[in-house]
Amino acid sequence: MTQRGRATRSTGRPRGGERARGTDRPRGGDLAARRNRLRDVIEPVVSEAGYDLEDLSVSRAGRRHVVRVMVDADGGINLDAVADVSRAVSAALDAAEEAGGDIVAGEYQLEVSSPGVDRPLTLPRHWRRNVGRLVKVTVRGAAVLPGQRGEQPAGDRQVTGRIAAADDERVALETDAGRAEWTYADLGPGRVQVEFSRLDEIEDADEFDDAGEPGDSDDIDDDDDDVEDEER
């Protein structure tokens, strides 16, 4: 879901909180500080709507910024809900800038989406929301599978299994060796595996994910050059 931010249309002059090129004041500051300002505005709006803010990123696209917001909830989030959140976030950003805050600095485009199946499972709620799905995960050496109780841990290894249960403390997987449970500290990020028998379900989930290829949202390091160019 894409929501156009202020002044994405060419007007010939800055509008609202925009600053013209050449101004003495820095335009937006460093990217991490900009993300923090955005989070302060956006996260309360998303929480009030009953959703979790899963990710927030800022990148450059030509002369404008792209603000990507990823939201989710137990049971998932549909297109109508994404649209509602997009409108609420856009209104909150406008209000914050009208109140005198330099939130984005310049033209921007707002994109709101839900996570795709390629999103890594890193928090208990991610695992809980994917119960029943097949995942691959790295298990750290201290943990062993049921059939290996008498063996010494052999270091980190990849395990594939179906999520049988998940709570705030641990996750249970049904593997070829049987059911096994681990605390989240024993596991690396989980990756949902595409199953051809569930391809339609996977494609429906990906319909909401218009935030780009995997890794696009982790763009702080990638945008350093953009920030340097912007501040020259």
Query: Which pLDDT does position 148 carry in this prediction?
Result: 53
Other beta carbons within 10 Å of 82:
20
The pLDDT tens digits of the residues spanning 170-216 come to 999 999 999 999 999 999 999 999 887 655 554 555 554 444 444 44
**DSSP string across 193-227:** PP-GGGHHHHHHHHTT--S-STTTT--TTTTHHHH
Which domains, from first to last, does the chain contain? Answer: 2-116+208-231 (3.30.300.70), 124-198 (2.30.30)
Query: Can you tell me the mean pLDDT for 131-139?
Result: 95
The pLDDT tens digits of the residues spanning 17-65 come to 333 333 333 344 467 788 888 999 999 999 999 999 999 998 888 888 8
CA neighbor of 193 nearest in space, from 164, 214, 213, 163: 163
**Block residue for tokens 């943990």:** 143
